[in-house]
Each structure stands twice: as structure tokens, then as C-alpha cells.
Amino acid sequence: MKTQILPNWCKKLGVIVFIIFSILGGGDDFNEGFKSGYNSVSPSKNHIVSIHKNLTTFSSYFGENLTHFFEILGILGILIYMLSKEKVEDDYINKLRLESYQLTAIIGLVVSILLFSFAKDLKLTLDYFIMLYLLFYLVIFFIKKRLY
């Protein structure tokens, strides 16, 4: 079954969409990681949080719903990249792609099982799993292609 339904130029489109909307959608969380650090709730760090209190964030500017929509568009950008054809499509590239899908599925399952084993009550949002799958697939496929 041919899953690569989009032409090669869609790869560039996918990357551009991913970069733009990932910054808009995930910029706040990225920024928060630097500002708050690990112990953001500890009382001793309160003075650090207060310095940044008045900064404008993407979610305060665009609103929560639009920011969430940007995150979805970022994910769709990677999906467009994944579903785009290579410059030259042949049997070997298809084989590598299938192997990458297979390996990604196995890694995804192993990671999920390990998370479940060690942290039974861990609550993660779906985007973690979506990104894990998409990014692992892209990295594995890239490595397999570059290996030769």
C-alpha cells in the first residue's frame, strides 16, 4: 500500500508549517521551562515568577483555543512531511519506510509499557504520544536512509 500520497514539495511545506505553528503553539511551554524551572511551586522561587508575571505569552495574546489549534497545525505539519514522497521513490525506500514504521510501533509500545509499569497513575496528554510516534518515525527513517 502506498502511503506517500503527497508530492515531494509538500515536505518543505510540512516543515514550514511545523516550525511556525510549533513556535506559536508550544512557545509558552518552552518559555515556561526556562522561567519556572523544576520547582516552580516552591515558595522560595516565588520572587523569580513574579519578575515575569507581566510578560505577554502566546496563549494570552491568541487565546487558549487558538493556541491549541496551532499545536494541532504543528502536528499536521509533521504528518504532511511524513506523507510526502521522496525525490526518488522506489522499492528500497518503501522497504526502509515500512521498517521504520515497524520499529517506531515497537518503540512506542515499549515506551508505553515501561511508563505504565513504573508509573501506574501517570497521566499524560495525547500529544506526548503523537509527537513520540511522529518524531521517532522521522528520526529512524532519516538514520536508515543516511546509513547507506
Binding residues (CB under 8 A) for other proteins: these are: 86-88, 90-93, 95-96, 145, 148
* Cβ burial 47-85 (10 Å sphere, 16+ → b, else e): eeeeeeeeeeebbeebeeeebeebbebbbebbbbbbebb
- Least distance (Å) between residue 135 CB and other proteins: 22
Q: Which is nearer to other proteins, 88 or 126 (CB)?
A: 88
- Least distance (Å) between residue 128 CB and other proteins: 32
Phi, then psi, of 68 in degrees rounded to 5: -65, -40
Q: Which is nearer to other proteins, 61 or 92 (CB)?
A: 92
Per-residue DSSP letters for 62-83?
Answer: H-HHHHHHHHHHHHHHHHHHHT
**Cβ contact 129:105 at 8 Å:** no
Q: Which is nearer to other proteins, 35 or 145 (CB)?
A: 145
- Least distance (Å) between residue 14 CB and other proteins: 20
- Least distance (Å) between residue 106 CB and other proteins: 21
DSSP, res 84: B
Closest CA to 134 of 93, 86, 75, 85: 75
Q: Which is nearer to other proteins, 45 or 85 (CB)?
A: 85
- Least distance (Å) between residue 92 CB and other proteins: 4
Bridge partner list, 6: 84
Q: Which is nearer to other proteins, 47 or 87 (CB)?
A: 87
**Whole-angstrom distance, CA of residue 80 vs CA of residue 88:** 17
